[in-house]
Amino acid sequence: MNTPMSLRKFAGIALVAAALLALPFVMALAGTAWVRITNLAILYIFLSLGLNIVVGYAGLLDLGYIAFYGVGAYVYALLASPFFGLHLPFWVILPIGATLAALFGVLLGTPTLKLRGDYLAIVTMGFGEIVRIFLNNLSRPINITNGPQGIDRIDPVSVAGISFGHDSTFLGLDFSGPVKYYYLLLLLLLGVIMVNLRLQDSRIGRAWQAIREDETAARAVGIDTTRVKLLAFAMGACFGGIAGGMFSAIQAFISPESFVLTESVMVLSMVVLGGMGNVWGVIAGAVMLSYVPELLRYTVGPIQTAVFGRTLIAPEVIRMLLFGLALVLTMRFRPAGLWPMGARKREFAMTKLDAE
Amino acid sequence: MNDLLLEARGIVKRFGGVLALKDISLTIRVGEIYGLIGPNGAGKTTFFNVLTGLYVANSGSFTFAGAPLEIKAPHEVARAGIARTFQNIRLFANMTALENVMVGRHLRTRAGVVGAVFRDAGTRAEEAAIERRALELLHYVGISDRANDLARHLSYGDQRRLEIARALATEPKLLALDEPAAGMNATETAALRALIEGLRDDGLTILLIEHDVKFVMGLCDRVAVLDYGEKIAEDVPEQVQRNPKVIEAYLGGALA
Ligand SMILES: Nc1ncnc2c1ncn2[C@@H]1O[C@H](COP(=O)(O)OP(=O)(O)OP(=O)(O)O)[C@@H](O)[C@H]1O
Ligand SMILES: [Mg+2]
């Protein structure tokens, strides 16, 4: 009974892995743009999983999450670009960015510990905006962020002398920059998913969920809610910082415009749409909200031209309209998200206990 | 003096104009079941909330297990060895029964984020021990067959039991139960009574708020009566039942 099950599971995993490995080449057939879109989608998965720790596990509404993405992105940009003339390797910068983002997480968390719900949302939103405004204005008196112009010519990731900035051939296959990034992101994603799953099923993860369910009861059973909440903010921010670093490397150019409130709202939508607290649901939410708008971009315009002979409504408008409609419908009919968190079954030696 | 577990001295709690606790002093001995009764709004729950750090007393102090109890935060009171249940059941509704009890082990375990992510041998062993202990406690309170069910799907009586199991998981010296029999039928109440007696026999000290007079008088070693925030009696059940002040304020019809 046991072997066929695990064999099926193994076959399933192998199939998914093969599909994921082949994906960029299939996508490349439709245009390199789709590989880039996929890379951004993976970054959104990173962000959603990070925010899931804060919102999904610990139940703390955070509307300024994109600030940590910004911190990670700027750390990378400043440490690997001609701007300061620094060119550190990415495996040095990512941990620095993650740590700094985590510190910012604690910075945000500390004054908000006593706040809940709406109040927390407002303060975190303000925090996100403050970080963005700082990025925008820290060009004077000393130029640290280069203000609204942003930072360009950011170094691409480079592993063992192979730069991810341009194409290379390997085993007769042509690996473009985006394809290489795809594999790197996939690898990082695997780690992020594992960390998320393991955190969920741990002493700290249970403490987060307890706080989400009933903070008073959590305190009464001995959980130091201050510490545990700050830990959630820090862990969530840490993921955001890593994602931001990768974003910098992939885009080669960043400016404060990438870290606006609507981005925070977008990531939150991904978490909520997919199903707060459920890693697979959150991933599905992020994938959907990353691809659907892009699909619409490529279909809405041409369809209109084909049917009416011209574009009646701008694709961008229809995109946001459908997007909003989808969110409203989901929240109306599946308020816990498309794939809500279920009770995780545990297997244990019940029989042994009952026999006593 | 050695057999005193908890001593409250001059506890005062005010809510605006309402004096919910008026200079309450009482002592609970090691190993006894101590009842706290009184009419609605007498201040019983408020006493629990002050003791467990949810409310800050206006004045007064506690001594617990021979040392001053410094009530800075609820989790520190729990660490000192006081666990409680709530009058209006407060479980982690969307977690399983087992997970609820596992959360109760938080205080007595150590694994942090690093352990969670790397799952080293020590963390795995601790996790296994947490789960084993939680399961034992579910078994002890008689709901181990519901271990995998979400807390909100349990029956009312089972939820009360689960709350007790979660409190026990913190390894308390004093277990404070706020109306554990409320809403239970006769069978459930009898089972609860057996459970509480079993806990006492295992050496736990119990502070019990209850409205069911028969339940309290049959179970408790000593009983204190609160009325409008004042302690009007404290004695063995037989004496309390005969106390004219108590009969006037509270028992009246119940014993007539
Ligand atoms: N948080 C609060 N804010 C204001 N007043 C409160 C608060 N908590 C309790 N009170 C008041 O304090 C008094 C005592 O309430 P408490 O809940 O302690 O009574 P109780 O003895 O537990 O009653 P019951 O048997 O109904 O549970 C009541 O007058 C109540 O209205
Ligand atoms: Mg009460």
CB contact under 8 A, A203 and B94: no
Q: How distant, in Å, are the alpha carbons of A64, A219, B29, B61, B75 from that of B54?
A: 30, 9, 23, 15, 10
Cis peptide before A156 (omega within 30 of 0): no
Write out the DSSP string of A201-248. TSHHHHHHHHHHH-HHHHHHTT--HHHHHHHHHHHHHHHHHHHHHHHH
Tokens representing residue B20 in the block: 């919910």
The whole-angstrom distance between B131's CA and the closest CA on chain A is 9
Q: What percent of chain A has pLDDT over 90?
A: 49
Checking if the pLDDT of B75 tops 70, the result is yes
Q: Is the CB–ligand 1 distance for residue B13 below 6 Å?
A: no
Tell me the pLDDT band of A353, cut-offs 50, 70 and 90.
very low
Per-residue pLDDT, B1: 43
Atom of ligand 1 at shortest distance to CA of B38?
21
A72: helix, strand or coil: helix
pLDDT value of residue A3: 56
Distance, CA A46 to ligand 2 centroid (Å)?
46
Residues 130-159 of B with CB under 8 A from A: 130-131, 135-136, 139, 144-145, 147-150
Ligand 1: which residue has its CA nearest to atom 11?
B20
B169 vs A115 pLDDT, higher one: B169
pLDDT of residue B183: 85
Tell me the C-alpha distance between A61 and A211, whole Å: 13
The pLDDT value given to residue A253:
94
Give the residue from B171, B93, B75, B48 showing the smallest Cα distance to A219: B75
- pLDDT surpasses 80 at A256: yes
The Cα of B170 is separated from the nearest Cα of chain A by a number of Å equal to 7
Nearest to A243 by CA among A52, A18, A22, A49: A49
ipTM score assigned to the predicted complex:
0.94
Is the pLDDT reported for residue B256 higher than 90? no
Q: Among A3-12, A102-111, B6-15, B133-142, whose mean pLDDT is lowest? A: A3-12
* C-alpha to C-alpha distance for B135 and B128, rounded to whole angstroms: 11
- Side-chain half-sphere CA neighbours of B102 within 13 A: 28
pLDDT per residue as tens digits for the range B79-119: 999 999 999 999 999 999 999 999 999 999 999 999 999 99
Give residue limits of the domains in chain A. Answer: 1-30, 31-355
Eight-class DSSP state of B67: E
A342 has pLDDT over 70: no
Mutate one of B102, B103, B148 to test the A interface: name it (highest A CB count within 10 A): B103
A1: confidence class by pLDDT, cuts 50, 70, 90: very low
Asked whether residue A47 carries a pLDDT value surpassing 70, the answer given is: yes
CB within 8 Å of A73: residues ≥ 6 apart: A97, A244, A245, A247, A248, A254, A258, A259
Contact present, A236 and A68 (Cβ < 8 Å): yes
Q: What is the pLDDT of residue A287?
A: 93
Tell which wins on pLDDT, B50 or B253. Answer: B50
- Is it the case that residue A344 has pLDDT exceeding 80? no
SS3 (DSSP) at B133: helix
- Minimal C-alpha gap between B201 and chain A (Å): 20
pLDDT value of position A157: 85
pLDDT for residue B246: 87
- DSSP 8-state secondary structure symbol assigned to residue A54: I
Q: Mutual orientation of helices A279-308 and A32-51 as an angle, nearest 10°?
A: 140
Q: What is the DSSP letter of A345?
A: P
Which backbone phi and psi does B44 adopt, to 5 degrees?
A: -65, -50
Q: Which one of A22-26, A152-156, A334-338, A346-350 scores highest in mean pLDDT?
A: A152-156
- For strand A168-170 and strand B82-84, is the pairing parallel, antiparallel, or unpaired? unpaired
Report pLDDT digits (tens) over A160-176: 777 787 777 677 667 77
Using CA atoms, how far apart are residues A209 and A216, in angstroms rounded to an integer? 13
Cα distance between the two ends of chain A: 28
Which is it for strands B222-227 and B230-235: parallel, antiparallel or unpaired? Answer: antiparallel
Q: Is B79 in contact with A222 (Cβ distance < 8 A)?
A: yes
- Res B156: pLDDT: 92
**What pLDDT is stored for residue A112 in this prediction?**
86
pLDDT at residue A218 is higher than 50: yes
CA distance B62 to chain A (A): 17
Q: Is the CB of B18 under 6 A from ligand 1?
A: yes
Q: How far is the CA of B180 from the centre of ligand 2 (A)?
A: 11
Token couple for B154 = 């349990």
Please report where in the chains the tokens 């605006």 appear, as a residue. B16
DSSP secondary structure letters along A296-320: HHHHHHHHHHHHHSS-SS-HHHHHH
Q: Which helix (H) or strand (E) holds B158?
A: helix B156-168
A21 half-sphere exposure, CB direction, 13 A CA radius: 6
Two tokens, residue A249: 């490397």
- Buried b or exposed e, range A63-86, using 16+ CB within 10 angstroms: bbbbbbbbbbbbbbbbbbbebeee
Take atom 22 of ligand 1 and give the residue whose Cα is closest.
Answer: B45
pLDDT of residue A349: 44
The answer to whether residue B87 neighbours chain A at the CB level (below 8 Å) is no
pLDDT of residue A354: 42
| Chain length of chain B | 256
The residues facing B162 across adjacent strands are none
pTM here is 0.91
Interface of B with A in 32-51 (CB under 8 A): none
Which pair of structure tokens corresponds to residue A108? 């945000």
Cβ(B199)–Cβ(B31) below 8 Å? no
> In CATH, what is the architecture of A31-355?
Orthogonal Bundle (1.10)
Does residue B42 have its Cβ closer than 6 Å to ligand 1?
A: yes
Q: Which residues of B, range 88-107, sit inside 8 Å of A by Cβ?
A: 90-96, 98-99, 102-107
Which residues on adjacent β-strands are paired with residue A263?
A: none
Maximum separation of any 2 CA atoms in chain A, in Å: 79
Q: Is A295 exposed, middle or buried (0-12, 13-18, 19+ CB in 10 A)?
A: exposed
Distance B44 CA to ligand 1 centre (A): 8
Average pLDDT estimate for B201-214:
92
**pLDDT above 90 coverage of chain B, percent:** 86
* pLDDT of the residue at A9: 85
Strand B33-37 versus strand B222-227 pairing type:
parallel
